[in-house]
Structure 1
Amino acid sequence: MATAANVNSSDIDFYYWPTPNGQKVAIFLEEAQVRYRVHPVDISKGMQFAPDFEKISPNNRMPVIVDRQLDASVFESGAILLHLAERTGQFIPANPQGRIEVLQWLFWQMGGLGPILGQTVFFRNYALEQLPLAIDRFTNETMRLYNVLNKRLADREYIAGEYSIADMATYPWVVQFAKQGIEIEDFPHVARWLKRIENRPAVKRAYTLAEAVRPSQLTDEQRKQLFAQQKQVA
């Protein structure tokens, strides 16, 4: 694997678990051909609450990267994508107009699409009690967001023109459409975009990484840890 511009093979430590947010960063690292070291953070075992991890991720969430060359850690997947794009000079346009296009859709994913789709998946699939009000609320908003994305993709191959960190941020959430109660055939432009992203070799490699670290089956205690996500307070 070639080394990206200005990033040496030992520079990036990647603290990762194969959630949609973890996959965003994995996709970038593979697309940009950055050599990195993976440090699995098994959130089903509560590893995100370990004191050493909390030092680099005060929100007790992954992914996190440590950029050794800059002696800096970066948490929040959107911030990581932006940092890596600027650091490598890839997947974000240099011109102001193109940069604006990418950033607004990146923040659309971070502020709206990801949180809403995450709640939809939880209430439809994993909540101990089925709550029709919550399911309807989040499913309806999910459908609205899919309509926004479908319209956006009606006349272009990628969200912000050329393939960018906006696509990398969005794909891992949208690829879970079945768990969100979405019939992807109802959104044909999104469906075509999904196939286009899925067929990229770097994306395939990023999902191979997911399979390498994901446990084959969760125990009841791991499932409780995964979906409670509450730190014990002393």
Structure 2
Amino acid sequence: MADLSTFPITNKWPAKNPDIIQLYSLPTPNGVKISIALEELGLPYETHRVDFGANEQKSPEFESLNPNGRIPALIDPNGPDGKPIGLFESGAILYYLAEKTGKLIPGDAAGRYETLCWVMFQMGGVGPMFGQFGHFYKYAAEKVANNSYPMERYRDEAKRLLGVMEGRLKNRQWIMGDTYTIADIALFPWVRGVDVFYGGRDVIGFDDFPAVMDWLERCLARPASSRGIDVPAKE
């Protein structure tokens, strides 16, 4: 049995089965990237729900694994050289899982780096900009009721980014062509989130991006997506 005692986070969220991957998360766009990838890869994992309402992501135990205090975070008891490894940042975790299994990423070096470019496109662009749009459109709407600039700025940037994706996905099944990869997993929960979490479908103008919408439906139709999209479940 793996010894995870060197990870203080396990004191707050004990592992029932320390021999499998431990996932600390919530069903947010960033969080479900990892549960969906794990489902696609068929890797056994145990989930631990991090309660934002109780500010658990800022607890010393959680920050011992991710000093930035953000979900998701993960412990793999079977890391490099067979030793446990703790990871944070969803893009890094996706890449790690793809490298670990040799799946969800092209086998050739050029394809791998191109896939990684699109993962970074999500991490540096789509995630932050969509998140800021949602913040000002839904959660801080009253605070900026007399100033439309913040919402309009991030709305327009979100639309621009969707336009980039639209161009990429024309005549393509997936971001990398015929093969579903971590690039798709990184991106589609955020596109879904604009509608599901922020109610911004019409404001962003989803109908203006038909290739993206068709791709989103294909992503959501995958069995692993339906299994991973609401992980961890409410207790």
Both proteins in one fold, TM over 0.5 = yes
Check the 8 A contact 2:165/2:212 in 1, yes or no.
Answer: yes
Which of 185, 194, 197 pairs up with 1:177? Answer: 194
Which of 180, 198, 201 pairs up with 1:163? Answer: 180
Question: Does 2:216 align with 1:197?
Answer: no
Indicate the residue corresponding to 2:70 in structure 1. 61
Structure 2 counterpart of 1:189, one-letter code: A
Q: How many percent of aligned residue pairs carry the same amino acid?
A: 42
Structure 1 counterpart of 2:225, one-letter code: V
Structure 1 counterpart of 2:222, one-letter code: R
CA RMSD of aligned residues (A): 1.6
Indicate the residue corresponding to 1:118 in structure 2. 131
Over residues 157-198 of structure 1, what are the superposed CA-to-partner deviations in whole Å (9 max), with x where a residue is unaligned? Answer: 101221000000001100123333222211000010011001
The answer for unaligned runs of 5 or more in structure 2 is 1-16
- C-alpha separation in 1, matches of 2:18 and 2:105: 22
SS of alignment partner, residue 103 of structure 2: coil
Indicate the residue corresponding to 2:110 in structure 1. 97
Over residues 107-139 of structure 1, what are the superposed CA-to-partner deviations in whole Å (9 max), with x where a residue is unaligned? Answer: 000011100000001100001412411001100
Matches within 5 A, 1:30-109: 30-70=39-79, 71-109=84-122
Check the 8 A contact 1:13/1:66 in 2, yes or no.
Answer: yes
Report the Cα offset of residue 96 of structure 1: 1.1
Which of 152, 155, 159 pairs up with 1:136? Answer: 152
Structure 2 counterpart of 1:94, one-letter code: G
Report the Cα offset of residue 209 of structure 1: 2.8
Indicate the residue corresponding to 1:226 in structure 2. none
Structure 2 counterpart of 1:111, one-letter code: G
Alignment: residue pair count: 206
Check the 8 A contact 2:41/2:103 in 1, yes or no.
Answer: yes
Report the Cα offset of residue 84 of structure 1: 0.6
Indicate the residue corresponding to 2:9 in structure 1. none
Check the 8 A contact 1:10/1:35 in 2, yes or no.
Answer: no
Check the 8 A contact 1:12/1:68 in 2, yes or no.
Answer: yes
- C-alpha separation in 2, matches of 1:177 and 1:73: 30
- C-alpha separation in 1, matches of 2:94 and 2:120: 11
Over residues 31-73 of structure 1, what are the superposed CA-to-partner deviations in whole Å (9 max), with x where a residue is unaligned? Answer: 1011101011111220001111111010011100101123210
Indicate the residue corresponding to 1:218 in structure 2. none
- Using the size of structure 1 for normalisation, the TM-score is 0.84
SS of alignment partner, residue 98 of structure 2: helix
